[in-house]
Amino acid sequence: MMKEISILVLDDEKVFRKEIKEFLDGEGFSVLTAERPSEAFSILSENQIDILILDLRLPEMDGLQVLTKVKEEYPDIEVIMITGHGDMDAVINAMRLGAIEFFPKPFRLLDMRAAIQRTKRYIALHEQLKEINQTYSLVSKDLIESIGTEIIGNSFGIRQVVDLMGKVAKTDNTSVLITGESGTGKELVARGIHYLSSRKKSYFYAVNCSAIPDTLFESEFFGHKKGAFTGANEDKAGWFEVANGGTLFLDEVVEMQPAMQSKLLRVLEERKIRRIGSSVDIPVDVRIIAATNQDINKLIEEGKFRSDLYYRLNSFQIHIPPLRERKVDIPILFDYYVKHISTRMGKKITQVDPTIVKAMMGYNFPGNIREMRNMVERAIILSEGGRLTMKNFSGLIAPTDSVSTTGIIGEDIFDLDLIEKIVIMKALERTGYKKTEAAQLLNITRQALDRRLEKYDINL
């Protein structure tokens, strides 16, 4: 239920103030009045006002000046302008400055009531929108903290990854196998799938299979009963129980020993587990997302990984290309990391040496995006005076003769539509989204720019 609407009437005519206050009080509104702007601003500083009924002609300052100041200091207040002088220019200026209605005196009080009711509905919708935006901001913050935002880029490879994430997220039980070199962001993709799915309110649990001793594998995955073995001093839930209803991410799944591979396969087929030392089966509803940076087919051929488990895990595969194969993303990632890390450190960067990105474009990045993030963080720590220079990256970026040219000479660079769209967006950003100036910057006509905006579905 919406709160009572509070109205302030600012008008230098005493009779009018008295008349409109009595009428609006009778309509159930909370009404305050002021004769002069200074009095009105004093009231605004001490009261929560929803609607200001503002006369155009006032002592101390005119109504348009008051309107400007109100919108600067109290942007949520809606303003209804009134005037005894028929000035169309004033009407236009008032609407441009943010007035929601404009009434010439004299007017019917019933018309004012109708205007206030319209404004009341507008305020209610605005409040709902604020709540939605707050909720969205919380969700976005949660996604950024939980997933990270390194899954960014304009290359064909990374766009394909994001597209596949969205598609498989819609199927809650499909197992996913993510492949890619170390540092490409496999866990980020797994988290993204989880938070895009209907399981997002349940646990996402990440397990590094290469870090678990063989003797603890079964206990960690399935749990145990008190007294099941030496050191089992209390009941313990395993990862399948902890992640029940959510997602279990198995990083470097190929590091599992054959015996555990067999038990994992059984859980995936039967959807139930049994704690060590228990005779009771526990149903589990867990989505499995596995990942590896190794050649899993070679491991199957060598007998180190079960083919039946592979087929069960590989219901849907996503491959993340290494950074050297999507070099078009390097400037975008670099820009993101500089802004993100410098903000986190509270260390403002105002100048960046352009030769840094040029050097990065010639570097192999064996550690992929993780390596880039770490080198940018180190460089920002070393930076002075708000400037990032090649000196800050000394010893970190060494040109690699054997660097793959896929990201430079391959298909990414010839996605001309994408490149043109990026250039247009940059021109619009630089000119404050003024089409004529952007067209001049791009050295094309305004009509040509409009056609391209329509082509790329860019709405301004």
Cα radius of gyration rounded to whole Å, the chain: 32
Q: Where are the beta strands (DSSP E) in 190-254?
A: 204-208, 223-224, 236-237, 247-251
Pick the CATH number of 415-455 from 3.30.43, 1.10.3470, 3.30.1300, 1.10.10: 1.10.10
User: What residue ranges of the chain have pLDDT lower than 70?
Assistant: 1-3, 85-87, 126, 128-150, 396, 398-419, 460
Sort strands 247-251 and 287-292 into parallel, antiparallel or unpaired. parallel
- Kindly compute the dihedral angle of the four CA atoms of residues 289, 294, 298, 304, in this order, to the nearest 10 degrees: -70
Cis peptide bond N-terminal to 366, omega within 30:
no
Domains 6-127 and 148-321 share a fold: yes
Under DSSP, the state recorded for 199 is T
The count of residues in the chain is: 460
Structure tokens at 184: 């490409």
Top-level class of domain 324-409: mainly alpha
Structure tokens at 378: 């180190």
Angle at 208 between CA 202 and CA 214, to 5 degrees: 120
The DSSP-derived string for 344-366 is HHT----EE-THHHHHHHT---T
pLDDT at 319: 95
Q: Map tokens 């199927």 to a residue.
A: 171
Topology annotation, domain 148-321: Rossmann fold (3.40.50)
Q: Is the alpha carbon torsion for 347, 353, 359, 360 positive or negative?
A: positive
Instruction: Tell me the domain boundaries of the chain.
Output: 6-127, 148-321, 324-409, 415-455
Structure tokens at 387: 């400037």
Structure tokens at 411: 């298909």
Distance (Å, whole) CA 146 – CA 133: 19
Q: Map tokens 């555990």 to a residue.
A: 260
Closest by CA to 333, choosing from 161, 192, 149, 156, is 149
Q: Do residues 152 and 158 make contact, with C-beta atoms less than 8 angstroms apart?
A: yes
Cβ burial 289-315 (10 Å sphere, 16+ → b, else e): bbbbbbebeebbeeebbbeebbebbee
Structure tokens at 112: 């004012």
Q: Do residues 264 and 255 make contact, with C-beta atoms less than 8 angstroms apart?
A: no
E strand or H helix at 207: strand 204-208
SS3 301: helix
Phi, psi of 238 (to 5 degrees): -85, 180
SS3 419: helix
Distance (Å, whole) CA 276 – CA 16: 84
Pick the CATH number of 6-127 from 3.40.50.740, 3.90.550.10, 3.40.50.2300, 3.50.50.60: 3.40.50.2300
Angle at 206 between CA 202 and CA 210, to 5 degrees: 160
Q: Do residues 282 and 142 make contact, with C-beta atoms less than 8 angstroms apart?
A: no
Beta bridge partners of 370: none
